Amino acid sequence: MDASRAHHLPSVIVAPFDQHDPAFIADPYPVFAALRAEAEVHWHEEMGVALAVSHAASSAVLRHRSLGRLWTDAKPVEQFTSFNLLHRNSLLENEPPTHGRLRRLVAAAFGRGHVERLRPWITELADRLVDGLVAAIEAEGQADLLSHVAAPLPVEVIAELLGVPAADRPLLQPWSNAIVKMYEYDLAPEKKAAAERAAAEFVGYLRDLVSLRRETPGDDLVSDLVAVTGTDGAKLTEDELVATAVLLLMAGHEATVNVIGNGVNALMAHREQWQRLVADQSLLSTAVEELIRYDSPLQLFERTATAPVEIAGFHVEPGQKIAALLGAAARDPEVFADPDALDVSRTSNPHLGFGMGIHYCLGAPLARIEVQAALSALTRKLPTARLAAEPRRRAEFVLRGLHELPLTS
């Protein structure tokens, strides 16, 4: 360990977890509880980041204005041209004043009624996808929730939102899947190369789509992003517009897939909660929040210090990284009664799944509609659903999810 960091460590140090350990990936929450009992912040030497494990410390990390999203280009820069372009121009990876300008313009385009316009269409889409799942179960005896419902739902929604033609929509999910692998730690070189290839193809595709929408505007978000102008005359550059579209797909796709997958998996393990939803659709809105809390699709969100900062007694120097460990914050008994219990009627639920502060997720309302539509369709059309086999969990830590969730009835 770097000796210069020693005085910045908490007085009690617990050996950090191994983020590659399959047992930890399968159930990290007992480890998080042990860490939280020892201190609110821990240094993880291998990952090179301090980890806030309590709700209060994680909230402070997300809100502190001297802890920012400071993008550092993937290296070597010449090998990650498109990946870096997307992130340099992203709403998520910028701080004020750039962030404020981008968010105002993107929010203005979103504010033109796109989410409410899509609500009935999303409900119909979820019903149609679940009908396909039910038909596959009837034909084969079992079927995968992820491939039939959880994965195609958010891709179709984002594609519809952006105005991507139906014939091109199969391109989007593979691009997103490849790019988001870059957010993991210690990624293999071939996966880094695949992420850059996907980013380059996606950038090229979106430049063509933007050009088309400049000439022929439609009733879609890309058209509105092209047209939107701030009160000061500011507009999005083409790079910013492309980065915004990619962010919407990656954030919206990965989070929604994993909330549905992780959430239904949890409901299958807690049959009484599943039965409550089947019996009472009015619980769907609180159930969505509880599933996000109970098994967070995003486990970790980083910040970098721009000035000396103290979080729960842990000192962070400029340039050092600290992350909110969202999965740990979501099980903090100081905030959540009986935090390890799944309760679809939980009403006091200040989870951090959509972030906090200026980087609060702009797509949160859309994500809630998608997950609620999926749960509604599943509980109505497949009330006797149960696991057909043990689900296969993905090996990644930061983006927590499943490869497949086989269901039967």
Who's near 147: CB < 8 A, 6+ residues apart?
Answer: 404
| pLDDT above 50 (res 177) | yes
Contact between residue 284 and residue 267 where contact means Cβ atoms under 8 Å apart: no
Q: Residue 300 is which amino acid?
A: L
Amino acid at 87: H
User: What average pLDDT does the structure give for the chain?
Assistant: 92
Q: Are 197 and 256 in contact (CB under 8 A)?
A: no
**Cβ contact 244:90 at 8 Å:** yes
Torsion sign, CA atoms 165, 171, 173, 179:
negative
Q: Say if CB 226 and CB 238 are below 8 A apart.
A: no
Reported confidence tier of residue 44, pLDDT bands at 50, 70, 90? very high
Report the alpha-carbon distance of residue 171 to residue 8 in Å, rounded: 46
The pair of three-digit structure tokens given for residue 20, joined into one six-digit string: 């590659």
* Distance, C-alpha 73 to centroid of its chain: 21
Distance of CA 6 to the CA centre of its chain: 33
Question: What's the average model confidence in pLDDT over 375-403?
Answer: 96
Q: What is the pLDDT of residue 15?
A: 54
Average pLDDT of the segment spanning 60-65: 96
pTM attached to this predicted model = 0.91
State residue 4's pLDDT score.
Answer: 39
Pairing of strands 321-325, 49-52: parallel
Establish how many alpha carbons lie within 13 A of residue 63's alpha carbon, considering only the half-sphere containing its beta carbon: 9
| 51: CB partners within 8 A, 6+ apart | 16, 35, 41, 42, 43, 44, 300, 322, 323, 325, 328
> pLDDT, tens digit, for every residue of 103-114?
998 888 887 888
Query: In the predicted model, what is the mean pLDDT of residues 356-385?
Result: 95
Provide the Cα torsion 303, 305, 308, 311; round to 10°: 0
Going by C-alpha positions, the residue among 340, 403, 367, 250 that lies closest to residue 27 is 340
Statement: residue 12 has pLDDT above 70: no
Mean pLDDT value across residues 224-229: 89
Percentage, residues of the chain above pLDDT 90: 80
| Contact (CB, 8 A) for 131 and 390 | no
Pick the CATH number of 3-408 from 2.40.37.10, 3.90.1150.10, 3.40.50.2000, 1.10.630.10: 1.10.630.10
Inform me whether the pLDDT recorded for 14 exceeds 90: no
Q: For residues 58 and 68, what is the distance between their CA atoms, to the nearest angstrom?
A: 14
Average pLDDT score over residue span 385-389: 98
Confidence of residue 252 (pLDDT cuts 50, 70, 90): confident
Q: Where are the domains of the chain?
A: 3-408
Please give the C-alpha separations between residue 324 and each of 69, 74, 197, 309, in angstroms, as whole numbers. Answer: 12, 22, 30, 14
Longest dimension (CA), the chain: 63
Q: How confident is the model at residue 6 (pLDDT cuts 50, 70, 90)?
A: very low
Question: Using CA atoms, how far apart are residues 393 and 406, in angstroms rounded to an integer?
Answer: 12
CA 241 to CA 220: how far, in whole Å?
13
